[in-house]
């Protein structure tokens, strides 16, 4: 069997960092970890080829080579998925699909011959069994959650690592919190399942032996969902990193209660974590209650962000506008919150109802759903009828927030606010890619950009007062370039 694994392209968003990848001569920010892991579940006698459409085109030759085409995708990749389906059908190739997009909306893809839904550790063996018997079904699904300590090592040999800015590893699945707008509980469950320490070290070692050095994304829904287990892992990971002179700088996603656990923050930075993404940092307490974000209630969110920064990790933040309980001044409050907290990489998105979430179900029952969501909550789309403010007011206010916080003056001011709090545990490792990026920043930001005055002000300030964080200052300047390029489209 010749199996072609296809990862569709991701549109230009805040988080694909397309506009700055050229500075370090990379093609994509992240690897298709789901497909690489799935590939390791395929029979050993199959011939495999993986095409990541974010780094190379899918060609007619690729399609003709394959006996079967496997697609793995998220909701945001829906349009590219349609293109892949069309191309495959032209050549009469059977299509097998899985991943969050199909698990959430299987009914939208009648053209797909077989859908392997939910988690492949359970559903894919059922497909293989039927394939051998010559009686393949259209849908394979289950409510059972697999033991991920049995999940295989990703097949890293299927990609060219030089194309990517970072590698990815998964430690856990599931989240203990059930926010109304989030589909994680629907997809992966409420009880976090974790890999063993030995298993994780084996995964890190596999990347190390293949020559990877640099950024590594721990892709968990909530890395600290099981605090006792994650602390055990961090102790072992620190030893592994120390023995190899810290080959990886790590980043992940977590809930804001991280700021309340000093031991956990210290363990994370000791293990090599230098940044963390926190979700839904709205300053409106009534909106947190509305969406069930109880872990963000009754806590000073600005102080929580600064606490994490002071403990050696940059905070990337997700901010949502469009809740039913958003007050009229939510736009000004979001700006004030973002600027005062020093969240440099602030993902401001409009609320969207994702199929399978409690929000989607509620809005459907209220007759307020308008369309499918795009999966990109930063594209300015709303797929439901707002309750208080009209849609145009929300969109206009949203755009005003973006224009303000990513204007050169305000953006660089926010970087300086971050540097005042940030206490790096170890200096940022400088290699030839960072040097190349720095030189590019001088040209694009220090000479050609309209905000060059603020760029040089930032660098001088960093050199004089924040020398250990100079690398972060340059990196932040480059990310600002990406965000402004998006807004100018």
126 and 231 in one domain? no
The DSSP code sequence of 188-210 is: H-SS-EE--HHHHHHHHHHHHHT
Q: What is the pLDDT of residue 317?
A: 93
488 vs 306, higher pLDDT: 306
288 and 262 in one domain? yes
345 and 236 in one domain? yes
- Whether the CB-CB separation of 374 and 381 falls below 8 Å is answered with yes
Residue 382 lies in a domain: yes
- Whether the CB-CB separation of 85 and 111 falls below 8 Å is answered with yes
- Whether the CB-CB separation of 203 and 153 falls below 8 Å is answered with yes
Q: What is the pLDDT of residue 431?
A: 74
Q: What is the pLDDT of residue 108?
A: 93
Q: What is the pLDDT of residue 292?
A: 66
Alpha carbon 175 to chain centroid, angstroms: 15
Domains contained in the chain, number: 3
**Residue 375 pLDDT > 90:** no
3-state secondary structure of 364: helix
CA distance 5 to 36: 9
**Dihedrals φ, ψ of 420, to 5°?**
-65, -30
Domain that holds residue 334: 153-417
CA distance 19 to 444: 11
440 and 402 in one domain? no
- Whether the CB-CB separation of 21 and 28 falls below 8 Å is answered with yes
3-state secondary structure of 242: helix
CA distance 279 to 274: 17
Output the CA torsion 452→456→457→458 (10° steps): 100
Residue 145 lies in a domain: no
Question: By mean pLDDT, which of 155-164, 317-326, 401-410, 425-434 is the weakest?
Answer: 425-434
Encode pLDDT of 355-368 as tens digits: 889 999 999 999 99
Residue 31 lies in a domain: yes
**Residue 194 pLDDT > 80:** yes
CA distance 427 to 327: 42
Alpha-carbon torsion (11, 14, 20, 26), positive or negative: negative
292 and 344 in one domain? yes
The DSSP code sequence of 54-84 is: TTS---HHHHHH-SEEEEE--GGGHHHHHHH
Give the residue from 79, 109, 140 where a domain finishes: 140
51 and 6 in one domain? yes
162 and 211 in one domain? yes
113 and 194 in one domain? no
CA distance 186 to 104: 9
The mean pLDDT value for 269-276 works out to: 97
Encode pLDDT of 7-64 as tens digits: 999 998 877 888 999 999 999 999 999 999 999 999 999 999 999 999 999 999 999 9
302 and 188 in one domain? yes
Residue 115 lies in a domain: yes
**Dihedrals φ, ψ of 80, to 5°?**
-70, -35
**Residue 413 pLDDT > 80:** yes
3-state secondary structure of 162: helix
The DSSP code sequence of 325-343 is: T--TTHHHHHHHHHHHHT-
DSSP state, 302?
Answer: H
Encode pLDDT of 441-451 as tens digits: 999 999 999 99
């Amino acid at each position: 069997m010749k199996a072609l694994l296809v990862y569709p392209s991701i549109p230009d968003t805040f988080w694909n960092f397309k506009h700055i990848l050229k500075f370090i001569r990379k093609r994509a920010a992240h690897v298709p970890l789901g497909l690489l892991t799935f590939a390791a579940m395929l029979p050993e006698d199959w011939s495999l080829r993986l095409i990541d459409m974010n780094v190379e085109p899918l060609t007619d030759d690729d399609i003709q080579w394959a006996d079967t085409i496997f697609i793995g995708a998220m909701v945001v990749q829906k349009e590219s998925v349609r293109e892949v389906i069309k191309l495959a059908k032209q050549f009469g190739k059977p299509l097998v699909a899985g991943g969050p997009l199909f698990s959430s909306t299987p009914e939208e893809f009648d053209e797909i011959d077989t859908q392997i839904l939910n988690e492949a550790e359970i559903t894919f063996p059922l497909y293989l069994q039927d394939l051998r018997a010559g009686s393949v079904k259209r849908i394979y699904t289950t409510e059972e959650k697999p033991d991920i300590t049995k999940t295989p090592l990703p097949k890293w040999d299927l990609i060219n690592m030089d194309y990517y800015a970072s590698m990815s590893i998964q430690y856990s699945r599931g989240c203990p919190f059930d926010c109304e707008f989030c589909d994680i509980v629907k997809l992966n469950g409420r009880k976090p399942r974790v890999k063993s320490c030995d298993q994780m070290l084996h995964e890190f070692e596999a990347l190390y032996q293949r020559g990877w050095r640099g950024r590594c994304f721990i892709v968990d829904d909530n890395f600290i969902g099981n605090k006792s287990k994650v602390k055990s892992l961090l102790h072992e990971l620190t030893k592994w990193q120390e023995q190899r002179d810290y080959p990886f700088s790590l980043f992940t996603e977590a809930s804001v209660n991280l700021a309340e656990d000093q031991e956990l923050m210290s363990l994370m930075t000791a293990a090599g974590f230098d940044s963390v993404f926190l979700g839904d940092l709205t300053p409106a307490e009534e909106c947190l209650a509305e969406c069930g974000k109880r872990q963000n209630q009754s806590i000073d969110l600005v102080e929580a962000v600064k606490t994490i920064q002071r403990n050696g990790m940059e905070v990337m933040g997700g901010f949502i506008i469009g809740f039913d309980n958003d007050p009229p001044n939510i736009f000004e409050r979001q700006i004030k919150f973002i600027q005062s907290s020093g969240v440099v990489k602030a993902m401001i998105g409009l609320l969207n109802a994702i199929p399978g979430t409690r929000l989607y179900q509620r809005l459907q029952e209220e007759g307020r759903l308008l369309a499918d969501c795009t999966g990109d909550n930063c594209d300015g789309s709303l797929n439901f009828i707002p309750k208080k403010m009209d849609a145009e007011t929300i969109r206009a206010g949203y755009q005003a927030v973006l224009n303000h916080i990513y204007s050169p003056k305000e953006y660089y001011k926010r970087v300086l606010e971050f540097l005042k709090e940030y206490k790096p545990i170890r200096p940022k490792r400088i290699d030839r890619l960072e040097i190349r990026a720095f030189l590019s920043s001088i040209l694009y930001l220090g000479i050609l950009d309209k905000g060059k005055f603020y760029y040089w002000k930032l660098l001088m300030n960093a050199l004089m007062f924040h020398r250990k964080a100079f690398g972060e200052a340059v990196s932040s300047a480059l990310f600002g370039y990406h965000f402004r390029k998006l807004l100018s489209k």
